Chains A and B, each alone.
Chain A
Amino acid sequence: METQAIHTTASSTRLHMIKRGMIAGFPIMLGYLPIALTYGVLASRTGMTNLELTLMSVLVFAGAAQFLAVGMVATGTGMIEIIIATFVLNFRHFVMSLSFVNRLKGVALRAKLPLTFGLTDETFTMSALYKDEAKEKYGSLFYASLILTAYLSWVGGSYLGGVLGDVMPARLSDSMGVALYAMFIGLLIPSVKKDFKIAGIAVLAMLINFICQYWGMSQGWAIVMGTVLAGFSGIWLLEDEEVTE
Protein backbone atom coordinates (compact mmCIF):
# COMPACT_ATOMS: atom_id res chain seq x y z
CA MET A 1 0.00 0.00 0.00
CA GLU A 2 2.56 2.48 1.15
CA THR A 3 5.05 1.87 -1.66
CA GLN A 4 2.28 2.19 -4.20
CA ALA A 5 1.30 5.56 -2.80
CA ILE A 6 4.91 6.71 -3.06
CA HIS A 7 5.08 5.43 -6.63
CA THR A 8 2.00 7.39 -7.64
CA THR A 9 3.40 10.59 -6.20
CA ALA A 10 6.74 10.05 -7.90
CA SER A 11 5.24 9.45 -11.34
CA SER A 12 2.81 12.31 -10.98
CA THR A 13 5.73 14.58 -10.05
CA ARG A 14 7.56 13.37 -13.14
CA LEU A 15 4.52 13.98 -15.30
CA HIS A 16 4.04 17.31 -13.58
CA MET A 17 7.60 18.40 -14.39
CA ILE A 18 7.19 17.32 -18.03
CA LYS A 19 3.96 19.28 -18.28
CA ARG A 20 5.53 22.36 -16.72
CA GLY A 21 8.45 22.11 -19.13
CA MET A 22 6.08 22.00 -22.09
CA ILE A 23 4.22 25.07 -20.83
CA ALA A 24 7.51 26.92 -20.35
CA GLY A 25 8.57 25.89 -23.87
CA PHE A 26 5.33 26.99 -25.50
CA PRO A 27 6.37 30.63 -26.16
CA ILE A 28 9.50 29.29 -27.90
CA MET A 29 7.32 27.05 -30.06
CA LEU A 30 5.27 30.07 -31.04
CA GLY A 31 8.40 31.95 -32.02
CA TYR A 32 10.03 29.00 -33.80
CA LEU A 33 7.17 27.79 -35.99
CA PRO A 34 6.94 30.74 -38.39
CA ILE A 35 10.75 30.99 -38.62
CA ALA A 36 11.12 27.24 -39.21
CA LEU A 37 8.46 27.37 -41.93
CA THR A 38 10.32 30.24 -43.60
CA TYR A 39 13.59 28.31 -43.35
CA GLY A 40 11.97 25.26 -44.98
CA VAL A 41 10.57 27.33 -47.82
CA LEU A 42 13.89 29.12 -48.50
CA ALA A 43 15.94 25.93 -48.26
CA SER A 44 13.74 24.04 -50.69
CA ARG A 45 13.95 26.99 -53.09
CA THR A 46 17.75 26.75 -53.16
CA GLY A 47 17.36 23.15 -54.30
CA MET A 48 17.82 21.27 -51.05
CA THR A 49 15.62 18.17 -50.77
CA ASN A 50 13.12 17.86 -47.92
CA LEU A 51 15.29 15.17 -46.39
CA GLU A 52 18.39 17.40 -46.46
CA LEU A 53 16.71 20.48 -45.06
CA THR A 54 14.93 18.53 -42.31
CA LEU A 55 18.12 16.67 -41.47
CA MET A 56 19.88 20.00 -41.04
CA SER A 57 17.26 21.02 -38.48
CA VAL A 58 17.55 17.65 -36.73
CA LEU A 59 21.35 17.71 -36.51
CA VAL A 60 22.23 21.40 -36.29
CA PHE A 61 19.20 22.93 -34.51
CA ALA A 62 20.43 26.52 -34.77
CA GLY A 63 18.17 28.93 -36.62
CA ALA A 64 20.51 31.76 -37.55
CA ALA A 65 23.25 29.40 -38.75
CA GLN A 66 20.80 27.43 -40.88
CA PHE A 67 19.54 30.60 -42.59
CA LEU A 68 23.14 31.65 -43.15
CA ALA A 69 23.99 28.25 -44.66
CA VAL A 70 20.97 28.34 -46.98
CA GLY A 71 21.93 31.83 -48.12
CA MET A 72 25.52 30.73 -48.73
CA VAL A 73 24.44 27.60 -50.61
CA ALA A 74 22.29 29.83 -52.81
CA THR A 75 25.26 32.04 -53.66
CA GLY A 76 27.49 29.01 -54.30
CA THR A 77 29.81 29.45 -51.31
CA GLY A 78 32.16 26.58 -50.54
CA MET A 79 31.41 24.00 -47.88
CA ILE A 80 34.42 24.81 -45.66
CA GLU A 81 33.50 28.49 -45.52
CA ILE A 82 29.94 27.62 -44.53
CA ILE A 83 31.16 25.35 -41.75
CA ILE A 84 33.56 27.99 -40.41
CA ALA A 85 30.82 30.64 -40.49
CA THR A 86 28.55 28.24 -38.59
CA PHE A 87 31.22 27.73 -35.94
CA VAL A 88 31.68 31.48 -35.45
CA LEU A 89 27.95 32.15 -35.31
CA ASN A 90 27.25 29.32 -32.87
CA PHE A 91 30.25 29.72 -30.58
CA ARG A 92 28.10 31.81 -28.23
CA HIS A 93 26.44 28.56 -27.15
CA PHE A 94 29.74 27.62 -25.48
CA VAL A 95 29.38 30.52 -23.07
CA MET A 96 25.68 29.81 -22.57
CA SER A 97 26.38 26.14 -21.94
CA LEU A 98 28.99 27.04 -19.28
CA SER A 99 26.37 29.08 -17.46
CA PHE A 100 23.70 26.38 -17.96
CA VAL A 101 25.70 23.43 -16.63
CA ASN A 102 26.99 25.51 -13.72
CA ARG A 103 23.34 25.77 -12.59
CA LEU A 104 22.82 22.02 -12.98
CA LYS A 105 25.60 20.96 -10.62
CA GLY A 106 23.25 18.56 -8.82
CA VAL A 107 22.25 16.78 -12.04
CA ALA A 108 24.11 13.68 -13.21
CA LEU A 109 26.30 14.01 -16.30
CA ARG A 110 24.28 11.43 -18.23
CA ALA A 111 21.19 13.62 -17.82
CA LYS A 112 23.04 16.91 -18.30
CA LEU A 113 24.98 16.01 -21.43
CA PRO A 114 21.97 15.33 -23.72
CA LEU A 115 20.37 18.58 -22.53
CA THR A 116 23.35 20.65 -23.67
CA PHE A 117 22.88 19.44 -27.26
CA GLY A 118 19.54 21.24 -27.24
CA LEU A 119 20.86 24.63 -26.12
CA THR A 120 19.87 27.53 -28.35
CA ASP A 121 19.53 31.24 -27.56
CA GLU A 122 15.89 30.62 -26.74
CA THR A 123 16.06 27.36 -24.79
CA PHE A 124 19.06 28.68 -22.83
CA THR A 125 17.55 32.02 -21.81
CA MET A 126 14.18 30.44 -21.01
CA SER A 127 15.82 27.71 -18.87
CA ALA A 128 18.05 30.25 -17.15
CA LEU A 129 15.04 32.15 -15.88
CA TYR A 130 13.47 28.97 -14.52
CA LYS A 131 16.47 28.45 -12.27
CA ASP A 132 14.66 27.00 -9.24
CA GLU A 133 13.69 23.89 -11.18
CA ALA A 134 17.38 22.91 -11.25
CA LYS A 135 17.18 22.21 -7.51
CA GLU A 136 13.84 20.39 -7.62
CA LYS A 137 13.41 16.66 -7.93
CA TYR A 138 13.19 15.57 -11.59
CA GLY A 139 14.38 19.06 -12.54
CA SER A 140 16.21 17.62 -15.53
CA LEU A 141 12.86 16.36 -16.87
CA PHE A 142 11.57 19.92 -16.78
CA TYR A 143 14.46 21.17 -18.91
CA ALA A 144 14.29 18.13 -21.18
CA SER A 145 10.65 18.71 -22.00
CA LEU A 146 11.18 22.47 -22.45
CA ILE A 147 13.99 21.76 -24.92
CA LEU A 148 12.09 18.97 -26.71
CA THR A 149 9.07 21.23 -27.19
CA ALA A 150 11.31 23.78 -28.89
CA TYR A 151 13.23 21.12 -30.85
CA LEU A 152 10.18 19.34 -32.21
CA SER A 153 8.54 22.58 -33.31
CA TRP A 154 11.77 23.60 -35.07
CA VAL A 155 12.19 20.26 -36.85
CA GLY A 156 8.46 19.90 -37.62
CA GLY A 157 8.18 23.47 -38.86
CA SER A 158 11.21 23.06 -41.15
CA TYR A 159 9.76 19.91 -42.70
CA LEU A 160 6.34 21.52 -43.19
CA GLY A 161 7.95 24.56 -44.79
CA GLY A 162 9.78 22.31 -47.23
CA VAL A 163 6.69 20.27 -48.07
CA LEU A 164 3.99 22.92 -48.12
CA GLY A 165 5.96 25.89 -49.39
CA ASP A 166 4.58 29.37 -48.80
CA VAL A 167 1.43 28.79 -46.76
CA MET A 168 1.57 31.82 -44.54
CA PRO A 169 0.51 35.21 -45.85
CA ALA A 170 3.70 37.21 -46.37
CA ARG A 171 2.58 40.11 -44.22
CA LEU A 172 1.82 37.84 -41.29
CA SER A 173 5.10 35.93 -41.48
CA ASP A 174 6.95 39.25 -41.80
CA SER A 175 5.30 40.55 -38.64
CA MET A 176 6.13 37.34 -36.81
CA GLY A 177 9.84 38.03 -37.27
CA VAL A 178 9.62 40.14 -34.13
CA ALA A 179 8.33 37.20 -32.03
CA LEU A 180 11.66 35.95 -30.65
CA TYR A 181 12.87 39.47 -29.85
CA ALA A 182 9.62 40.08 -27.97
CA MET A 183 10.16 36.80 -26.15
CA PHE A 184 13.66 37.89 -25.08
CA ILE A 185 12.17 41.17 -23.82
CA GLY A 186 9.43 39.30 -21.98
CA LEU A 187 12.12 37.17 -20.31
CA LEU A 188 14.33 40.09 -19.35
CA ILE A 189 11.83 42.60 -17.93
CA PRO A 190 10.60 40.59 -14.89
CA SER A 191 14.22 40.17 -13.72
CA VAL A 192 14.89 43.87 -14.27
CA LYS A 193 11.86 44.75 -12.15
CA LYS A 194 13.21 42.59 -9.33
CA ASP A 195 16.74 43.98 -9.53
CA PHE A 196 17.39 47.10 -11.53
CA LYS A 197 21.12 46.34 -11.79
CA ILE A 198 20.20 43.60 -14.26
CA ALA A 199 19.14 46.30 -16.70
CA GLY A 200 22.70 47.62 -16.43
CA ILE A 201 24.15 44.24 -17.43
CA ALA A 202 21.76 43.90 -20.39
CA VAL A 203 22.24 47.45 -21.69
CA LEU A 204 26.02 47.08 -21.43
CA ALA A 205 25.79 43.88 -23.53
CA MET A 206 23.67 45.73 -26.11
CA LEU A 207 26.23 48.53 -26.37
CA ILE A 208 29.22 46.18 -26.64
CA ASN A 209 27.46 44.09 -29.30
CA PHE A 210 26.47 47.23 -31.22
CA ILE A 211 29.95 48.78 -31.08
CA CYS A 212 31.67 45.53 -32.10
CA GLN A 213 29.39 45.13 -35.12
CA TYR A 214 29.83 48.80 -35.96
CA TRP A 215 33.60 48.19 -36.03
CA GLY A 216 33.02 45.41 -38.52
CA MET A 217 33.17 42.35 -36.28
CA SER A 218 30.97 39.47 -37.44
CA GLN A 219 27.61 39.13 -35.70
CA GLY A 220 28.68 35.85 -34.10
CA TRP A 221 31.80 37.21 -32.37
CA ALA A 222 30.05 40.48 -31.46
CA ILE A 223 27.35 38.59 -29.55
CA VAL A 224 30.03 36.51 -27.80
CA MET A 225 31.92 39.68 -26.82
CA GLY A 226 28.76 41.40 -25.57
CA THR A 227 27.71 38.36 -23.54
CA VAL A 228 31.11 37.58 -22.01
CA LEU A 229 32.24 41.15 -21.26
CA ALA A 230 28.90 42.46 -19.99
CA GLY A 231 28.64 39.25 -17.94
CA PHE A 232 31.83 40.32 -16.14
CA SER A 233 29.98 43.35 -14.77
CA GLY A 234 27.85 40.82 -12.89
CA ILE A 235 30.91 40.00 -10.75
CA TRP A 236 30.38 43.38 -9.08
CA LEU A 237 26.66 43.89 -9.66
CA LEU A 238 25.22 40.52 -8.62
CA GLU A 239 25.12 39.13 -5.10
CA ASP A 240 26.20 35.62 -4.23
CA GLU A 241 23.34 33.18 -4.16
CA GLU A 242 22.94 31.18 -0.98
CA VAL A 243 23.97 27.59 -1.42
CA THR A 244 21.11 25.25 -0.65
CA GLU A 245 22.67 21.91 0.05
Chain B
Amino acid sequence: MIIWMVIGMAVVTAVPRFLPALIVGFVTFPKWVDRWLNAIPYAALGALIFPGIMSVKPDAPQIGVIAGLVGIFLAWLNVHIIFVVFGAIASVFLMTL
Protein backbone atom coordinates (compact mmCIF):
# COMPACT_ATOMS: atom_id res chain seq x y z
CA MET B 1 0.00 0.00 0.00
CA ILE B 2 2.69 2.47 1.09
CA ILE B 3 4.78 1.35 -1.86
CA TRP B 4 2.08 2.44 -4.36
CA MET B 5 1.80 5.78 -2.61
CA VAL B 6 5.58 6.23 -2.93
CA ILE B 7 5.47 5.33 -6.63
CA GLY B 8 2.57 7.71 -7.24
CA MET B 9 4.38 10.53 -5.44
CA ALA B 10 7.54 9.78 -7.41
CA VAL B 11 5.70 10.02 -10.75
CA VAL B 12 3.88 13.29 -10.03
CA THR B 13 7.15 14.79 -8.74
CA ALA B 14 9.36 13.56 -11.57
CA VAL B 15 7.18 14.56 -14.54
CA PRO B 16 7.19 18.33 -13.84
CA ARG B 17 10.94 18.07 -13.20
CA PHE B 18 11.99 16.50 -16.49
CA LEU B 19 9.30 17.78 -18.88
CA PRO B 20 11.01 21.18 -19.45
CA ALA B 21 14.19 19.40 -20.61
CA LEU B 22 12.17 17.84 -23.43
CA ILE B 23 10.42 21.10 -24.34
CA VAL B 24 13.17 23.71 -24.15
CA GLY B 25 15.57 21.92 -26.49
CA PHE B 26 13.20 22.34 -29.43
CA VAL B 27 11.95 25.88 -28.90
CA THR B 28 13.91 29.11 -29.22
CA PHE B 29 12.50 31.64 -26.82
CA PRO B 30 12.28 35.37 -27.53
CA LYS B 31 14.61 37.48 -25.40
CA TRP B 32 11.96 38.54 -22.90
CA VAL B 33 11.27 34.91 -22.02
CA ASP B 34 15.00 34.44 -21.36
CA ARG B 35 14.93 37.45 -19.02
CA TRP B 36 11.89 35.98 -17.26
CA LEU B 37 13.58 32.62 -16.82
CA ASN B 38 16.78 34.30 -15.60
CA ALA B 39 14.75 36.08 -12.91
CA ILE B 40 13.15 32.82 -11.71
CA PRO B 41 15.98 31.88 -9.28
CA TYR B 42 15.75 35.23 -7.48
CA ALA B 43 11.96 35.13 -7.36
CA ALA B 44 12.09 31.52 -6.12
CA LEU B 45 14.56 32.47 -3.38
CA GLY B 46 12.23 35.25 -2.23
CA ALA B 47 9.18 33.01 -2.21
CA LEU B 48 11.08 30.25 -0.41
CA ILE B 49 12.39 32.55 2.33
CA PHE B 50 9.22 34.40 3.27
CA PRO B 51 6.80 33.73 4.92
CA GLY B 52 8.27 30.26 5.51
CA ILE B 53 11.06 31.55 7.75
CA MET B 54 8.46 32.64 10.32
CA SER B 55 7.59 28.98 10.89
CA VAL B 56 11.06 28.04 12.20
CA LYS B 57 9.44 28.48 15.62
CA PRO B 58 5.71 28.52 14.79
CA ASP B 59 4.76 29.87 18.23
CA ALA B 60 7.37 32.65 18.03
CA PRO B 61 7.63 33.91 14.42
CA GLN B 62 10.03 36.72 15.41
CA ILE B 63 12.77 34.15 16.12
CA GLY B 64 12.94 33.07 12.48
CA VAL B 65 12.83 36.68 11.32
CA ILE B 66 15.67 37.76 13.65
CA ALA B 67 17.78 34.76 12.60
CA GLY B 68 17.11 35.76 8.98
CA LEU B 69 18.31 39.30 9.68
CA VAL B 70 21.48 37.85 11.25
CA GLY B 71 21.90 35.83 8.05
CA ILE B 72 21.44 38.95 5.87
CA PHE B 73 23.98 40.84 7.99
CA LEU B 74 26.59 38.07 7.75
CA ALA B 75 26.01 37.57 4.01
CA TRP B 76 26.34 41.32 3.49
CA LEU B 77 29.81 41.18 5.03
CA ASN B 78 30.75 38.58 2.37
CA VAL B 79 31.00 35.84 4.98
CA HIS B 80 31.08 32.37 3.37
CA ILE B 81 27.64 30.79 3.04
CA ILE B 82 28.54 27.99 5.48
CA PHE B 83 29.09 30.56 8.22
CA VAL B 84 25.92 32.41 7.27
CA VAL B 85 24.12 29.11 7.95
CA PHE B 86 26.01 28.50 11.21
CA GLY B 87 25.36 32.07 12.36
CA ALA B 88 21.62 31.73 11.83
CA ILE B 89 21.53 28.33 13.59
CA ALA B 90 23.50 29.78 16.52
CA SER B 91 21.16 32.76 16.85
CA VAL B 92 18.06 30.51 16.96
CA PHE B 93 19.84 28.28 19.49
CA LEU B 94 20.66 31.28 21.71
CA MET B 95 17.17 32.78 21.42
CA THR B 96 15.52 29.54 22.49
CA LEU B 97 17.84 28.77 25.43
Using CB atoms and an 8 Å cutoff, list the residues of chain A in contact with chain B.
Answer: 26-27, 30-31, 48, 52, 55-56, 59-62, 65, 69, 73, 79, 82-84, 86-87, 90-102, 105, 109, 112-113, 116-117, 119, 121, 124-125, 128-129, 171-172, 174-179, 181-191, 193, 198, 201-206, 208-210, 213, 222-223, 226-235, 237-241
In the bound assembly, the distance between CA atoms of A178 and B76 in angstroms comes to 18
Q: Once the chains bind, are B41 and A116 in contact (CB under 8 Å)?
A: no
In the complex, A230→B36 CA distance in Å? 9
Given contacts A102-B24, A129-B41, A182-B68, contact A206 B6 (CB under 8 A): no
Closest beta carbon of chain A to B26's beta carbon, Å: 10
A27, A128, A185: the one within 8 Å of B82 (CB): A27
**Could you list which residues of chain B lie within 8 angstroms of chain A, going by C-beta atoms?**
1-10, 12-14, 16-25, 29, 31-32, 34-53, 56-57, 64, 67-68, 71-72, 74-76, 78, 81-82, 84-85, 87-90, 92-93, 96
Q: Is the interface of B mostly helix, strand, loop or mixed?
A: helix
Return the 4 tightest CB-CB contacts between A and B, nearest first: A234-B39, A202-B46, A205-B46, A182-B88
* CB < 8 Å neighbour of B71 from A65, A69, A181: A181
